[in-house]
Structure 1
């Protein structure tokens, strides 16, 4: 079906355009033209002056709609997570598996494999956050499941049937030969839950590591004579940094420093969202531990942060209100930047001819009113 979205402000690149029609055909953006020149065979939809932006891309989603990925048992559970975040503008995501047993890793990989094979809307692949981490910076990851990487894991993530695969690991705990092998076989490797030194990070980056998971969290602070993981991340021009912009995980001033050092084109918003998204729940279980939501924070009984209650619309909004960024730049960190990180910069993250029609319609209060994934 051919569809024309009209009477909207359209974010094209870094600027807003009006009096244009956005043309969608066969799941792609067929073009952008003046409204008066809209082809007669397109079905027109009047958006009453609302805004159209690229669909948000979230590379770290632990759960949503009452489902934690670690507990997912069916394709319906995966669909529930995707649907919960779609309400907040996320049209593409990497469901994220928190450190767990091999059996759980295989089960969840099987579900994502099926989701990819059937073309489930919104699912790009799978993010393994662990279990190859440093127990000294484990956060809420269960230490009993933190272990050494082995060949069966490499075989699992390089088989080519899981879509886009992201692996968060501690570079000091994984040989650079494995990092190189993963990278060369198309896996995106990110550093997190780590005490890696500056030199260890440099070696991992040279081997193919391209990301840092929730910058500043679960890693030592940068010091004057030991820049460490953070220093390596901020000084490497090719390294992308995800960050949780909920006002709790990182102070806004600290994030402003990182943005000033890296530039917007290497900083990407992530939610690290747990299962409470799109529910009224104030409690969830992570393994045998109870996680409580209070005043916007998810914590264990001892006060340890456990993921977030953040959605991507709020993350973008916070980039404007907490980080003093223009809306266009805030949106870039939720769209074009993660698309580039995942190697999707020619198909996702922009409203432009030939790009996938993953689009979000926002009202003037920056609330999601409608979304399209591949034009649907």
Structure 2
């Protein structure tokens, strides 16, 4: 399971002897953290703080998951209060910030999730930071509903989104741009700082481009639940692959997208515009069995999570595994795979303090070994997860 390490905001944290992944590339250096920020990258003389032996490890930016439905046996849509319980364990997978994803559900569920975030974390919470909600629905196409309840899908209206804003915990909205009134809603949400994604859409190429013109800047789980690429009807996939303004979210679990299609996406979008997501559901981190996704029972086995009709319904992927899979399936450099899980999602959210390792930035970090396995995770300068074998001095361990 690993451990958590108690620390004090006024004490320094030193990561000694690691290879640091900076925006300029890798460099062997010590990292000094003070009051939750990166204070220095260079030679350090640890004194009076927490010291982590990072020799042989890569000090990388913490991962940011833009699409996660739950995990460790808990589902965010049916029980929004589980956000904190799941968030406390996400650092085990390298995730230091995330968007709890609420799928199409009966009216009132979104407000319930927002109240959970309004109330804030429980006392002594130490885990990944929820940056706001990802609302995946209800403004989706019934033709590409996937596992979303078609009876609850509907076109967007200004009234329904009137209080959807970053201040009210809405960070990302996935919608189908071909729905009546959708492009006007895209513009309204973007004006409030909300990231809009195209997804669960049967849009034509032209309709998808209209959504991008209106301000959509992400495609939710590219290739899945959207009109495919054809030489005479390029669809949503063609619009996303061909337009440099929009990034592509990918579920790299070896089930949702064939490695050949992943290579096509990487070649078309490049390392700046691929965003790794998990789309994980409650079964992530659990044994095969039956788990909740919204109001549905989902059966999970070696073929992935599937609804009663046999359709894929989320994943059991973790973000560190997605990073390793991208390296293996596509042959990209490890540093590029890390950026797709950290820098790129943070940039899309307009959060320059996250996703990079640089002086003055927030100290959300992950320590990876040569196999890109997570050895430790740091959130706001706090070592919230550490492998038991990792040498951490100057603080008392706490059980997760």
- TM-score of the aligned structures, taking structure 1 as reference length: 0.93
> What SS does structure 2 have at the residue aligned with 1:322?
helix
**Conservation of the 8 A alpha-carbon contact between 1:241 and 1:267:** yes
**Conservation of the 8 A alpha-carbon contact between 2:281 and 2:293:** no
Which is further off, 148-157 or 219-228?
148-157
> What SS does structure 2 have at the residue aligned with 1:265?
coil
Q: Is 1:8 aligned with 2:8?
A: no
The structural deviation recorded for 1:9 is 1.8
Instruction: List aligned pairs for 1:195-214, cutoff 5 A.
Output: 195-214=202-221
Distance of 1:231 and 1:372 partners within structure 2: 39
Q: Is 1:294 aligned with 2:294?
A: no
Q: Which residue of 2 aligns with 1:101?
A: 106
Which is further off, 308-317 or 80-89?
80-89
Which is further off, 274-283 or 237-246?
274-283
Distance of 2:13 and 2:303 partners within structure 1: 39
Q: 4+ residue stretches of structure 1 with deviation over 6 A?
A: 116-120
The structural deviation recorded for 1:48 is 3.7
Q: Which residue of 2 aligns with 1:63?
A: 70
Instruction: List aligned pairs for 1:335-354, cutoff 5 A.
Output: 335-344=342-351, 346-354=352-360
Distance of 1:24 and 1:331 partners within structure 2: 21
Distance of 1:224 and 1:172 partners within structure 2: 20
Which is further off, 21-30 or 294-303?
294-303
Distance verdict in 2 for CA 1:54–1:149, change over 3 Å: same
The structural deviation recorded for 1:90 is 0.6
> What SS does structure 1 have at the residue aligned with 2:309?
coil
- TM-score of the aligned structures, taking structure 2 as reference length: 0.87
Q: Map Cα deviations across residues 146-198 of structure 1 (whole Å, 9 max, x no partner).
A: 11223343123127231x61000000014222211111111111100001111
Q: Map Cα deviations across residues 255-295 of structure 1 (whole Å, 9 max, x no partner).
A: 11111111110111000000112233521133553311111
Distance verdict in 2 for CA 1:320–1:159, change over 3 Å: closer
> What SS does structure 2 have at the residue aligned with 1:206?
helix
The structural deviation recorded for 1:314 is 0.5
Q: Is 1:171 aligned with 2:163?
A: no
Q: 1 or 2, which has the higher helix percentage?
A: 1
Q: Which residue of 2 aligns with 1:22?
A: 31
Q: Which sections of structure 2, spanning at least 5 residues, go unmatched?
A: 1-10, 383-400
Distance of 1:288 and 1:330 partners within structure 2: 34
1:190 to 187, 191, 197: 197
The structural deviation recorded for 1:339 is 1.0
The structure with higher relative contact order (CA 8 Å, sep 6+) is 2
The structural deviation recorded for 1:367 is 2.0
Distance of 1:144 and 1:123 partners within structure 2: 29
- Paired residues in the alignment total 369
Q: Which sections of structure 1, spanning at least 5 residues, go unmatched?
A: none
Q: Over aligned residues, Cα RMSD in angstroms?
A: 2.0
